[in-house]
A and B are shown apart, each in its own frame.
Chain A
Amino acid sequence: MHKLKTTALALAGGLMLMAGAAMAADPVVLNVWSDPVRLTMFELYDKTHDNVTLNITTIDPAGLVAKIQLGMQSKSEVPDVIFMNDIGYAAQLSTRRSNYLLDLTDKVPQTTLDEFYPNANGPCYINGKLLCMRNDIAHDVVWYDKPLMESLGAKVPTTWEEYQALGDELVAKGYSLGSPMVPFESFLVSDGCDMVMPVEGKDDTVKIDLTTEKCLKPARMIDHMIAAGSLSKVGPFDPAVVELVKTGKVPLMIGPTWFGEYVIKPTYEMAPGKLAVALPLKWDDQTQPLTWSWGGGVYGGWKDTKNPAEVADLITWMSSDVTNQTTAVTLPAHKPSSIAWGARLKTDAYYASPDVFDVQVAAAEFSHPGYVSLRFSVEDALVKIVSANIAKGISVEASLPALQTELTNLAKLNGYNVE
């Protein structure tokens, strides 16, 4: 008995010693859930910061929210920092039922936030609080095949009216304008249509009104263009659309900033020296364009983390450290980083003109302030109502009332007040 006691004491003493040593020398350990693409960036932080050790796990981005829900429900394995590849996750992870995200409002200096592009952190402000930081921006621009447009004698449009007319002109010559980035969201909101827009100063409140001319006008344009054949009714990755672009039948298309590098080059296989980019379109009665985005990831932290200061530092560094972001895969949301990042585009012989990056930077000024994080997917509702109706031959304009009902129901179900 006595012997047992001594052994136990010795063991306990040893453990305490070990714990003490760990406290003195070991850096703070943060659990990080990354997507495969952001892995090298997290590793760079780990390498360059001695006070922090990152325990990085690569997570399938589509399963991220589910995994965090399970972790929080079982009170284990909740990461300190996450990368979210869908801006909607920020809202989904900051509700009463899934309250994960750390409030960064007082933890990130305003001077750093001011260095981001306008509205770049829009998806991170939820009810006035900064809950995440944007990694990359992905606003729509006009991509075109410069030599093909010239040989067709076509002018690159600057307004939606010109765009529609160009479509009619191209159809007559056997060409088209590709796919409208199904499900039409970016087109429908281009004139300021209130398709689930946050209401300034009112928490959990959105405005949904699809009956105004601001919504009907773009809807009519889509209907006209689909009927005329200048716009495909399916997405940009549909085999039929890919084939069309590959065979050089689409001289111009609207797409996000990453489209050139990651779709037009590898998927559409456009030859070097052809691709150029122009500013987003505006309506005749608008003073400047209002351009929607497709994508752009964000970083967030855990509200119950033991090391909030380190978490905030990691998130800030990931999104705004120039050395880190210079080698990022997509256009950084942090302006100084993006300038360093964009240098390589200016000398890239793939593009037909050296201004590809400058145009993207200029276009960022017109980013839609309504591109925010919501607890439900407007895109899914558009698929359910509008895409299904288009397949049945029902126009977008005629689908708007049903879409309004669907969106209103979804908003209320997810706890929003609807105006």
Chain B
Amino acid sequence: MSAIAATATPDRARAAKRKGRRDTRMAYLLLLPYIVLLIMFGVFPVAYAFGLSFVDTIENSFYGLANYDFVFNDFRVPAAAINVIWFVVIWVAMTMVGVATLSLMLDTVGRRTATTLRTIYFLPGAVTSSAVVVLWLFLLDPGVSPFQGLLHAAGWTYSIDVVSGLGLASVFALMAFFSASGGWIVVFGGALSSLPTEVLEAARIDGANRFQLATRIKLPMIWRSLVLMGILSFAAGLQLFVEPQLMGLAGPQSAQNDWSLNQMAFQYAFRMGDFGASAALSTMLVSTSIIIALVIVFATRFYKLD
């Protein structure tokens, strides 16, 4: 709102301002239910955990940084951190390449085929991640898998051979990729269909084939959204829990109880009864995610309008 306009026509400006205020009020009113729930189930637990991380939960006394000290001195934590980083790196790379490739390819086929395929891609995402894990344990067991031949050809007889051959980080990344990317493919389908047709038309007239159109025109235009997806996946990947936790279903020789950081937090609270240490580790995890979010919002141009 420019100052010159305001002095020129004070009445109209005031009316506009009032209307603006009313709009804002309306927006907040509509946001209210979400904000209430966010405070109850998002902000409050985080604040509670933050407070708990400085407390000895037995004596209910201030414990200083002792809980953090305990977590840092646990020999399993660095190993779990490395595991999670490997998982995140593999998963994010798979997601970015896989989702971009599939979305761009879907954009070149006929609309009806694309819609059908997109729905199929989306389906695994509709299954809860615990069920996906069980499904994958079945798929990766050379004894029962429908891809038996392939697994046997790789020289694998038992599921532990497959897990050992691929590496746990890759196995979990594979599970997460198939459950999470369908949703992103749908999102990118929308993004690609809203690209300005005149630009694509111009490229086509200039003689660009489908491949060139995808890599030279469409990809640069959706690039920022792809990076955003990568960052969001990174933050989500740090919270890895279900996949390693359920590995024990494949038999006692596959159980992984301290593979990821979130599992460690779970172990502290529900095995050792150490809610303080659990809160300390969770606080550190959530801080990492918050820092990532702040970087996206303030240090990049993601939320600036062009």
Contact = CB atoms under 8 A, between A and B. Distances in A.
Q: Do A and B interact with each other, yes or no? A: yes
A237 to B, nearest CB: 6
B277 to A, nearest CB: 9
B283 to A, nearest CB: 17
Interface in B126-161: 141-144, 157-161
Interface in B259-277: 269-275
Most B Cβ at <10 Å: residue of A69, A238, A388? A238
Contacts of B69: none
A183 interface: yes
Contact of B158 (A96, A240, A375, A383): A240
A234 B272 contact: no
Interface string A52-85: 0000000000000110011011000000000000
B252 A97 contact: no
Give the size range of B's interface with the partner: 20 to 34
B255 interface: yes
A383 B251 CA distance: 10
B275 A387 contact: no
A98 B252 contact: no
A391 B160 contact: yes
Nearest to B73: A413
Most A Cβ at <10 Å: residue of B57, B75, B253, B255? B253
B253 A383 contact: yes
Interface string A402-418: 00000001000110000
A100 to B, nearest CB: 9
Contacts of A379: 252
A69 to B, nearest CB: 5
A139 interface: no
B269 A69 contact: yes
A202 B262 CA distance: 35
B164 interface: yes
B57 A392 contact: no
B68 to A, nearest CB: 15
26 contacts: A65-B270, A66-B269, A69-B273, A72-B273, A73-B273, A73-B275, A92-B272, A92-B273, A95-B272, A97-B274, A182-B253, A234-B160, A234-B251, A238-B159, A238-B253, A239-B144, A240-B157, A240-B158, A375-B272, A383-B254, A387-B253, A387-B254, A388-B160, A391-B161, A409-B76, A414-B272
Interface of A: 65-66, 69-70, 72-73, 92, 95-98, 182-183, 233-235, 237-240, 243, 375, 377, 379-380, 383-384, 387-388, 390-392, 409, 413-414
Given A183-B252, A383-B255, 12 more contacts: A69-B270, A69-B275, A95-B272, A97-B274, A182-B253, A183-B253, A233-B158, A234-B251, A238-B158, A375-B272, A387-B254, A391-B160
